[in-house]
């Protein structure tokens, strides 16, 4: 499968036993339909998140195409609150595209009973954690 942004082949990234596709160039992650739900330990919470998805109107972000059917994906607001995350969803529901760091932002809103292994992994990957203890003196 090719990255919808860079068109480079993506690599398989295993997140807590869920095989996702990851672009090493732009850091984006593709989740097939149902995989987001699998990442959540609590299916009710996953359902809540998915049902809260709203189409985003008038977003200037460049549309990208579904790596499976090549249809233009829809911009979706994946979480309300102070920092909405805009993700891309295939109109035929093949899956979801997360730009670099977006998946961890969304997962960070959930609760996990597995020590947030997925979030830890993503955070390490993108080195986004501002609370690292290596601030120096």
Strand ranges across the sheet with 18-22: 11-15, 18-22, 29-32, 95-98, 86-89, 74-77, 54-55
CA distance 96 to 78: 11
Q: Does 23 bind Zn ion (CB under 5 A)?
A: yes
Counting residues that bind Zn ion (by CB under 5 A) gives 12
Q: Does 73 bind Zn ion (CB under 5 A)?
A: no
Sole window of 35-43, 56-64, 83-91, 104-112 interacting with Zn ion (rule: CB under 5 A): 83-91
- Binds Zn ion (CB under 5 A): choice among 9, 19, 42, 69: 69
Nearer to Zn ion, 94 or 116 (CB): 94
Q: Does 96 bind Zn ion (CB under 5 A)?
A: no
Nearer to Zn ion, 75 or 94 (CB): 94
Nearer to Zn ion, 97 or 112 (CB): 97
- Binds Zn ion (CB under 5 A): choice among 6, 13, 33, 46: 6
Query: What residue ranges bind Zn ion (CB under 5 A)?
Result: 3, 5-6, 23, 25-26, 66, 68-69, 90, 92, 94
């Amino acid at each position: 499968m090719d990255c919808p942004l860079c068109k480079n082949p993506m690599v398989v990234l295993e997140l807590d036993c869920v095989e996702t596709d990851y672009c090493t160039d732009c850091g984006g992650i593709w989740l097939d339909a149902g995989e987001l739900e699998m990442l959540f330990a609590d299916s009710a919470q996953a359902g809540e998140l998915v049902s809260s998805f709203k189409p985003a109107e008038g977003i200037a972000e460049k549309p990208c195409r579904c790596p499976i059917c090549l249809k233009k994906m829809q911009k979706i607001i994946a979480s309300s609150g102070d920092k909405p995350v805009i993700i891309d969803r295939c109109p035929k529901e093949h899956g979801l595209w997360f730009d670099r760091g977006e998946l961890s932002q969304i997962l960070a809103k959930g609760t996990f009973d597995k020590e947030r292994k997925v979030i830890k992994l993503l955070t390490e990957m993108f080195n986004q954690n501002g609370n690292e203890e290596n601030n120096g003196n």
